[in-house]
Amino acid sequence: MKKIIAFALMIAVMLSIAIPAVVNAAPGQVTGIRQTECGTQSIEIEWTGVLGQSVRYYVELSNNGVDGWVDYDYTTSSHKNIYNLAAGTSYYARVKASDDGGKTFGSYSETIEVVTLPEETKGVKQTKATTSSFTIAWDKTLGATGYRVCEYVNGQEYVVATTDKTSYTFKKVSNKESFPYKIYVRPIRKSSTGYVAEKEASYSWSYGGIYANDVMLVPKKLSAPKKSILWYNSKEIVFNVGIGSVPFQKGYETKVYKANSKKVYASGVNKNGYNLNRNQFYKIKSRAYTTIGNQKSNKYGAWSKFTYFTIGLDNVNLKAGKNSIKAYWSKVKGGSVKYNVYISKTQGADLKKVKTVKGTSLTIKKIGKKKLSRKTQYYVYVIPSIKVGKKYIKDIVETHNSVSTL
């Protein structure tokens, strides 16, 4: 009987113990969260998966990383694309895992900043230039934390600089005819993790920019003007200052002064011919200019050196003797002037130097080492020269006349 009672008590105790239900453990914390891709309205993030069967990952975004979290549903992969975001904007992302259909969750991952790609940069244009540099500028792009300044050459992109400003100056540029590439600017947005939202280089051709042959440098200094044509009858002299004398030149400016004056006597843009007075020394200089984009003002290079010149004397008067010729002429104004006198038997050829004088007359008795012959025609030339600094500069224009000895 005692054994029966003991057995019954044992059964009663066993029946009074509850059997616990089976409960799944929460998955571990998601780690290794990072941004891997972006667009103007999308991002892609990845993370390191956690151990467990049928694990789900829930991705949340916030505008400030503190509150206002938006759940973008779950994925069973260790990455997720999120769309319909704003361009050039920062969001904050976090991920948590569940292994039982969204009932038991692990801890959130760390929160990271993620960024979308800004819209394309607009308004790229050249704004400044020197003889060896040029500056480009562009409109500020909403959401950009910086810009890649790029050259595109033969299908290949080269990043020249990264800047947070809206302008950049190319320095030590060769002053040649044009540049065989395109220049453009790509906006970027960099997150606190170091990830940079930017378009891949293979797509860079789509950006608006400047074709390099539209880039203009300030032209270099022109050579001093040289006489091209002298119209004796109209007193007009023309110089060979022309468009295209130096690279990047679109035009030129000339200024004429009386040789001993600082006051401009005549000037003009793209003008190389002047109607002037005889018996006067002048000086002329020139400079080239270019234009930049749609700017109305010209960008001028340095002035050339002066060219000193006259358009000749009123006349060379000659009085013949038996074995001599007396030549006299009007005084040339403009400074310290000397006169170079030549004689020849042939017009325009075989000129023999007679003498250089300060006065306005000279008696000629020889041609070279020989005395003048009687009843012979001679041509007498007078070419003025002017003192510039410590040297006399001979004119580019001569005046002549002829007479026969008695």
All structural domains of the chain, each given as residue ranges with its CATH number in brackets, are 31-115 (2.60.40.10), 125-214 (2.60.40.10), 227-309 (2.60.40.10), 316-404 (2.60.40.10)
Over residues 390-397, mean pLDDT: 92
Q: What is the pLDDT of residue 24?
A: 60
Give the helix/strand (H/E) hosting 210: strand 209-211
Confidence of residue 180 (pLDDT cuts 50, 70, 90): low
Mind listing the pLDDT tens digit for each residue in 263-290?
999 999 999 899 999 999 999 999 999 9
**Strands lying side by side in the sheet with 56-62:** 70-75, 56-62, 90-98, 112-115
13 three-state secondary structure: helix
Indicate the pTM of the whole model: 0.78
Identity at 312, one-letter amino acid code: G
Q: What is the pLDDT of residue 99?
A: 84
Q: What is the mean pLDDT of the chain?
A: 89
pLDDT at 230 over 60: yes
- Token duo for residue 398: 């001569």
Q: What is the pLDDT of residue 18?
A: 43
- Token duo for residue 179: 């540049």
| % the chain with pLDDT above 90 | 70
Confidence of residue 204 (pLDDT cuts 50, 70, 90): low
Mind listing the pLDDT tens digit for each residue in 49-88?
887 778 999 999 999 999 999 999 899 999 999 999 999 9
